[in-house]
Amino acid sequence: MNLGISTAIIGSSLLHSDPVPGLLSAYIARVEADGGIVEAEDCLEENITLLNSLGLWSKASAVWLPHGYKEDKLYAVKGGAAADLTFARAGTRTRKGPSYIEGVPYNLSLNSEQFNLWTPQGTTITADAAVAPDGSTTADKLIENSSSSLHYVTRSTDNYPGGTHTFSCYVKADTRTWAYLASFDGVDRGAYFNLSNGTIGAVDAGASASIQDVGNGWYRCIVTATPTLVWDVSIQLATGSGVRNYLGDGTSGLFIWGMQVVQGASAMDYFHTTNRQDVPALDYTNSICPSLSLEPARTNLLLRSEEFDNVYYTKTRTTVTANSILSPENLTTADKLVETVDAGTHLLIAGSISATTTTTYTQSIFLKAGERSKGTIQFVTAAIFGGTNPIATFDLLAGTSVMTNGTGSTTITDFGDGWFRVSITATTTGAGSTGLAIAILDNSGTTSYTGDGTSGFYIWGGQFEAGSYATSYIPTTVATVSRIADSVPSLTGVSSLIGQTEGTMYLHLYLFADGNQKAITLHDGVTANVRLRTDSSNNLICDGGTISIPSVAHTTGIYKVAIVYSASRVAFFVNGTLIGADTTVTITPSDRFGFENFNGSADFYGEVLAAALCPVTITDAEAIALTTL
């Protein structure tokens, strides 16, 4: 819901006409009524318009576009609640948001509406005491006790990291009309808010504040500050501007709801949290519109992923200036790698990672040009890579990265504001210790040269993981950190959404050529009846039941797929081409649809930009138009 906040993430559908009359407003209303939010409404409108123009929308029984979501759920755009996907990940992760890398969810506050689970100081909490800004009876009342003290509620165990953050809370006057919202890391950085007239009182040094009227006496109180140490946030009762330490009467208080803490200087649209788990990751890495990012479990084996000045890293003719500029997460946590005045190679090395034989590893790092824009990323210890170090050479001005030594592959991805994520992937031929090495090259691309003592480039977010591609960034400090796999369990009991004897399955995907088996399936829990899958040779296959159609090789990239099936023919279309058809098939009815195989194996890992089911067939011409990139 957009409670007095408008951001780049939350578009403004009221400024546009619905491509299908009433659809956008009805979809957004359904999501908001269930406590979810909708991102990138402009993209949503464009995608619906496209599907409508291609004739799919009117024929579809269910359509999924990754825009509306909350904890545990991705909302179907068409098909109603029966088509909503359940999402599972017993933990958090990061994503590339519309502007920056951020947590999933971006609201860092736990139990954002359950202040009875927070720690009261000089107060008590009455849960669900009033109607909240979203119309639900979920607002709590913060009541002062009769002590002479501060009167507040906090989560002192959250320990948010230092750096610029914006925190907000919805507050409504009762018998108290002033509130104080602040961060605390040994120093208070907050502001006083007058809830009787919607004005701001005293603002602490190092903080800025704003207030937004969201109706029915509710105000969203917003503070931006830059704590330097780990910190917590509190909402406090006050009797006036600057007055929060006073003798309480044991009964007075005010109403509170919807705490949010986000990185950076923008409040963002409010996102409800409980345990901050099982939140779909809508990612913008490979598209200006969001995709549903589904990732396998991975572990960042590199320690101190943002602390390159630490002794964990060996500096050879280099120095590191910590916290030099804004990082890709919009915090001042990016370091600068600087060459010394010595002659030779200028390196940063972390070489204490234990690697197993015949295992594929990917290491990656975020880089931004400074006085130097060229460098190399490499695996150390040539002996476990067939005697030759895999090395990639990158150019941060040209936005290129190429393999220049050994066997492997490399990628470079633009993350905005001059930042690139450079990765290198290689497979070991033996076991031993390896690690990440970054070298600065001079402006002519020379490896060994005499430095000037000041030139270099910026580095942030190192990662070393077992796997054939770099997954979302996993920050580490003193120990390795693992991210739990994303999972979308099959929808069950949805035979009404699935064509039983004929139909169409449309998928718009970003695939990784990682040699792993993945599946998207119409099934009955016993058999895959219509299925798209990949195999260990990176073939894209249409099968299931008696279907037999030639496969097509795929690389890493975007694919649009349509499988059109009936009792007399199954046709397989990929990126505007009819791959093949089987005219001797038997279609078994399905009551389940999932981003997995029929037995729960072969989870689909990749990105989903769109998916749709139709209970009718479409023509070959329509399928070709629908899947043309």
Q: Summarize pLDDT for 357-415 with one digit per residue, the tens.
A: 999 999 999 999 999 999 999 999 999 999 999 999 999 999 999 999 999 999 999 99
Give the angle subtended at the CA of 626 by the CAs of 68 and 67, to the nearest 5°: 5
Q: Write down the pLDDT at residue 21.
A: 72
Candidates 285, 295, 278, 168; CA nearest to 233 is: 168
Residue type, 106: Y
Q: Residue 280: which of 515, 525, 595, 506 has the closest Cα? A: 595
Q: Which is the CATH superfamily of the domain at 115-263? A: Galactose-binding domain-like (2.60.120.260)
The mean pLDDT value for 427-452 works out to 97
Secondary structure element (H or E) that encloses residue 424, with its range: strand 419-427
| pLDDT confidence of residue 607 | 98
Length of the chain: 629
What are the tens digits of pLDDT across the range 312-331? 999 999 999 999 999 999 88
On whether the CB atoms of residues 225 and 207 are closer than 8 A, the answer is: yes
Query: For the residues 31-60, what does the mean pLDDT come to?
Result: 95
What's the pLDDT at 416?
Answer: 96
Mean predicted lDDT score pLDDT of the chain: 95
Contacts of 21 (CB under 8 A, 6+ apart): none
Judged against a pLDDT cut of 90, whether residue 299 lies above it is answered with yes
Sequence-ordered list of residues with C-beta below 8 angstroms from that of 193, at least 6 positions apart, any chain: 171, 178, 179, 180, 181, 199, 200, 201, 209, 211, 219, 221
Q: What stretch of H or E contains 487?
A: none
| b/e code 223-257 from CB counts within 10 Å (16+ = b) | bbbbbeeebbbbbbbbbebeebebebeeebbbbbb
Dump pLDDT digits (tens) for 524-568: 999 999 999 999 999 999 999 999 999 999 999 999 999 999 999
Confidence of residue 489 (pLDDT cuts 50, 70, 90): very high
**pLDDT score for 317:** 98
495-627: CATH topology: Jelly Rolls (2.60.120)
Res. 2: pLDDT tops 70: no
Cα dihedral: 40, 46, 50, 53 (round 10): 140
Region(s) of the chain under CATH 2.60.120.260 = 115-263, 298-483
What pLDDT is attached to residue 22? Answer: 83
Distance CA 57, CA 80 (A): 14
What's the CA gap between 547 and 588, in Å, rounded?
A: 11
Structure token pair of residue 538: 């990176």
Distance CA 118, CA 156 (A): 8
C-alpha–C-alpha distance, residues 311 and 46, integer Å: 50
**Does the global pTM surpass 0.85?**
yes
What is the distance, to the nearest Å, from the Cα of residue 566 to the centroid of all Cα atoms in its chain?
A: 38
Q: Is the CB of residue 137 less than 8 Å from the CB of residue 130?
A: yes
The one-letter amino acid code at 220 reads: R
**Is the pLDDT at 8 greater than 50, yes or no?**
no
Q: CA-to-CA distance for 430 and 354, rounded, in angstroms?
A: 11
- The per-residue pLDDT for 17 is 52
At residue 439, the pLDDT reads 98
DSSP code for 477: S
Write down the pLDDT at residue 209.
98
Strands of the 518-523 sheet, one edge to the other: 552-553, 539-543, 528-534, 518-523, 592-594
Would the pLDDT of 5 be above 50?
no
Cα torsion 582, 584, 588, 593 to 10°: value is: 0
CATH topology of domain 298-483: Jelly Rolls (2.60.120)
Best CA proximity match to 580, nearest among 561, 608, 558? 561
Dist CA 507 CA 560 (whole Å): 6
Distances (CA, A) of 497 to 464, 487, 504, 513: 42, 21, 11, 31
Q: Where does the pLDDT of residue 599 fall: very low under 50, low under 70, confident under 90, or very high at 90 and above?
A: very high
- In this prediction, residue 351 carries a pLDDT of 81
Residue (of 54, 48, 65) closest to 618 by Cα position: 54
- Identify the sign of the CA torsion 505, 508, 513, 516: negative
Buried b (16+ CB within 10 A) or exposed e, 5-21: beeebbbebeeeeebbe
* Cα–Cα dist 397/374, whole Å: 8
More confidently predicted of 37 and 229 = 37
Q: What single string gives the DSSP state of each residue in 286-311?
A: S-SS-EEEE---EEE--SSTT-TTST
Does 228 or 143 have the greater pLDDT score? 143
Distance, in Å, from the CA atom of 541 to the CA atom of 530, rounded to the nearest integer, reads 11
CB-based contact 469:70 (threshold 8 Å) = no
In the chain, list all ranges with CATH 2.60.120.200.
495-627
512-526 pLDDT, tens digit per residue, is 999 999 999 999 999
CB distance 122 to 151 below 8 Å: yes
Percent of the chain with pLDDT over 90: 93
Cα separation of 401 and 33, whole Å? Answer: 47
Cα separation, 587 vs 253, in Å, equals 64
Predicted pLDDT of residue 157: 75
For residue 469, is pLDDT > 70? yes
The predicted-structure confidence for 158-198, as pLDDT tens digits, reads as follows 788 888 999 999 999 999 999 999 999 999 999 999 999 99
Is the confidence at residue 479, as pLDDT, over 60?
A: yes
- Share above pLDDT 70 across residues of the chain, in percent, rounded to a whole number: 97
Quote the Cα angle for 231-283-503, to 5°. 145
